[in-house]
Amino acid sequence: MGHRKERKNGYAVKRSDYDSHGDYPLNESETENSPCPVTKRCGGCQWMGMDYQEQLREKEKRVRKLLAPYCGLEGIVGMEQPLYYRNKVHAVFGEDRRHRPISGIYEERTHRIVPVDSCRIENQKADAIIVSVRELLPSFKIRPYNEDTGFGLLRHVLVRMGQASGQILVVLVLASPILPSKNNFVKALLKRHPEITTIVVNVNNRNTSMVLGDREQVIYGKGYIEDTLCGKIFRISPSSFYQVNPLQTELLYAKAMEYAALTGRETVLDAYCGTGTIGIIASERAGQVMGVELNADAVRDARVNAKINQVGNIRFYQNDAGRFLLDMEAQGARVDVVFMDPPRGGSSEEFLSAVARMAPERVVYISCNPETLARDLKYLTAHGYGAERGLAVDMFPFTEHVETVCLLSNRKPDTKVRIDVDLEDYYHIKDAKKNQN
């Protein structure tokens, strides 16, 4: 149940194909049950210290119970090595009482910094880079930012890792745009970590809990990295959405593609598409793919990713997913398969009702919250769909969170006539009419 390997439709890889934990092997005495010294103050790993097999049993039990009224659960896919899996690592910077730089995480529900040099679930190489940045600060007379006084420069460091590519992006989040002795600082950091691919300065001068600001300056490299997921290349910039556990993501998406059962003729909708990962992966086995996403930056990244992968049968639209489907329905358009991967709050009733009316043959629902998944399954099964089966995937060991993918099939008689509509032309005409008015 816990440690399955899967290879479906050519999308998945063996776990041994990638080293998900950087270049730092575990100590012989270290296991997933070893104590974490800051877990009570951090609050991020609610299940740290619990036996990993017990974690999997608890997560599977929870998902199985929630899905029981609608479908069975195939099981849960866990990790063979559940430590150090996060490829996105963030540290907040500050000073101790002696004005020495510290870095770590906020104590749960506070803005007090818990100093952390190494986290049990974060990539160890990323943690080492953050420690190096902190150790370099005094020699360059760089002070961490103080939230109370507004004095200081360095607020956060964000490190993003390419799981398959090995590329590394370092983001220095500053309160003002000037990094003292910028070139020498870069040289000193690269001397310690020549594996770094690119370094970006991000400027956040607002009084906000948000990590990243709106302005960026590339001070080394291209300003982004690339990684391979399910055989496709994706660009990762400082603000790009990209799954933090690619090893498990490949297994999750492989199951989603298996459920979709694409033959090369289908029109596919990738709803809540983000940077286009699911749609781009599905494109090689679909006739036409449309991705819809409300966030403009994500849509821009999705289009870049499609170009990188030379995908010609996919189009991305910036729109609310529910409104987009209503517009499609108004044009008499139809889709065969819908992938939906909504946020933790689940899907909107507007979107679900539009899906029910358009009646695609299959809906593949990817969820990061089994409670809202169960709620949405209740709606869809009451409006002509049958939930066939699901699979849980442990994307976040030592936390209470779990991902689930579920297949729904249309059980209503097919009374619609298929009309092929080019949505790109439709939105072009719609915008032209709006400008005329």
Residues in the chain: 437
Residue 71 falls in the annotated catalytic set: no
- Contact status, residue 270 vs residue 292, Cβ threshold 8 Å: yes
User: Which residues, at least 6 apart from 217, have a Cβ–Cβ distance to it below 8 Å?
Assistant: 177, 200, 201, 203
* Lookup: tokens for 358: 């358009």
Out of 42, 45, 368, 406, the active site residue is 368
Least Cα distance to 343 among 304, 295, 378, 400 occurs for 295
The structure tokens listed for 391 are: 């699979």
Please give the positions annotated as active site.
368
